[in-house]
Amino acid sequence: MTNAIPQILPKSGFPRLIEALRAHHYRIVGPVVRDGALHWDEIAGVEDLPIGWQDTQQPGQYRLERTETTTWFGIVHGPDSIKRLTFVPREPLLTIERKAKKVTVTPQMPEPTPTALLGVRACDVAGLLVHDRIFLQGRYADPYYQVRRDALLVIAVNCTRAHKTCFCASMGTGPRAQSGYDLALTEFEDEFLVSVGSEKGREIIELLELPSASPAYQRQEQERIDACAASQVRGLQEQHRLPQGLYEVHEHPRWETVAHRCLACANCTMVCPTCFCHTVEDHPDLSHTRNERVRLWDSCFTPQHGMIHGKNFRPTIADRYRMWLTHKLASWIDQFGVSGCVGCGRCLTWCPVGIDLTEELHALMRENVDQATP
């Protein structure tokens, strides 16, 4: 399906795509500018898109600006990956009620509206596929994730512009969406190239009866995406030495060095498209007759996360940073068969003090090579 010839959707014809999505009963959620950052929100039409806006990102800094361009998807991304829609920050799981001596447990299953998610970047599509491995594979699929995931139609946008914290090219996840999307768009000045990635996507696009793109057009698309990859200034070049390489530097002094900067504030894990740590809290009422059990985003940087039997076995920031990086880049591979990093760069941008994951890995692994050399 993904090998099918892409089609040309003029920007002037974009409302027809929106109509087709509506005809399939999707609400449309897309990128929206609010309070100086990009967010996912329901859009009424093209006019809600951040047309002409661009982002600049570097470690610890994010700024949006309006430009002279008329690019629709000029902002690469905001703090939120699409996990906000599938692995939601606060998921009520069940309620427990006690009347007389009878205890009733009622699951609280979400009933999400079918949602077409417009403008998903390749890194976020890759992140979604990582979450699918975590939540849906094996003996115990997560029903809450499952119903939210099933309600999604993913319309990716291939990147033709990278910022300083992007490194998807080195992770093999972008700038072109690889798989896991229903439709993928590449933006040109006056039109989009549309690729079909699933049967659901094909059903939508067939309604529009679009012309196919010429081979020259397709080459031009590839050149733009390749240029985006080439413009990326960061990468995880040590990827091929993982997971083992990181296990060998467990006692490296660099963990203490980075702990002097790390705030253990958990921002990196909140913005990460793949971090899935959560806590389950009981919220009882004062009379102890009704209890709501909720799942909340948690992080390996919180004090509760390492708490076992009243004692924290990861008390220091160095312990926690090592836990996070080693899991993300190394033991994740053992656990789920894929890296926990998709190269979106959010953990660099949204770290309040701008800690750079790629730089930390270089430091840990480079010095390890030096040590190993006689």
Partner 1 sequence: MKAVKTSIPGTRQPRRPRLAVAKFASCDGCQLTLLNLEDELLAVGDALEVTYFPEASSRMRGGPYDIALVEGSISMPEHARQLAELRKQARVLITIGACATAGGIQALRNWADLESYKRAVYPTPAYIQSLRTSTPISEHVSVDFELWGCPIDKQQLLRVLTDVLAGVQPFLPAHSVCLDCKRQGHPCVLVAKGLPCLGPVTRTGCGAICPGMGRDCYGCFGPVEGASPGPGIPPNTASLSDHFSSQFHLIPVELVRRFRGINGYLRPFREESHAWESSNKDSDAHR
- What residue ranges bind partner 1 (CB under 8 A)? 34-37, 39, 60-64, 78-80, 84, 89-90, 259-267, 270-271, 281, 283-288, 296-299, 301-304, 315-318, 349-354
DSSP secondary-structure letter at 113? P
Provide the CA 74 distance to its chain's centre, in angstroms.
Answer: 18
Of 157, 158, 177, 148, the closest CA to residue 83 belongs to: 148
Beta carbons of 363 and 254 less than 8 angstroms apart: yes
Shortest distance, CB of residue 1 to partner 1, whole angstroms?
Answer: 34
Shortest distance, CB of residue 162 to partner 1, whole angstroms?
Answer: 19
Nearer to partner 1, 107 or 303 (CB): 303
CA atoms of 31 and 72, how far apart (whole Å): 10
Shortest distance, CB of residue 277 to partner 1, whole angstroms?
Answer: 11
Nearer to partner 1, 27 or 39 (CB): 39
Shortest distance, CB of residue 91 to partner 1, whole angstroms?
Answer: 11
Nearer to partner 1, 212 or 313 (CB): 313
Residues 6+ apart with CB under 8 A from 123: 77, 166, 168, 171, 173, 174, 273, 342, 343, 344
Nearer to partner 1, 207 or 277 (CB): 277
Nearer to partner 1, 228 or 270 (CB): 270
What are the E-state strand segments in 140-271? 152-157, 183-187, 191-196
CA atoms of 318 and 368, how far apart (whole Å): 18
Beta carbons of 299 and 271 less than 8 angstroms apart: no
Nearer to partner 1, 9 or 38 (CB): 38
Radius of gyration in angstroms for the set of CA atoms belonging to the chain, rounded to a whole number: 22
Shortest distance, CB of residue 94 to partner 1, whole angstroms?
Answer: 18
Query: Six-digit token pair at 242?
Result: 């993982």
Shortest distance, CB of residue 152 to partner 1, whole angstroms?
Answer: 18
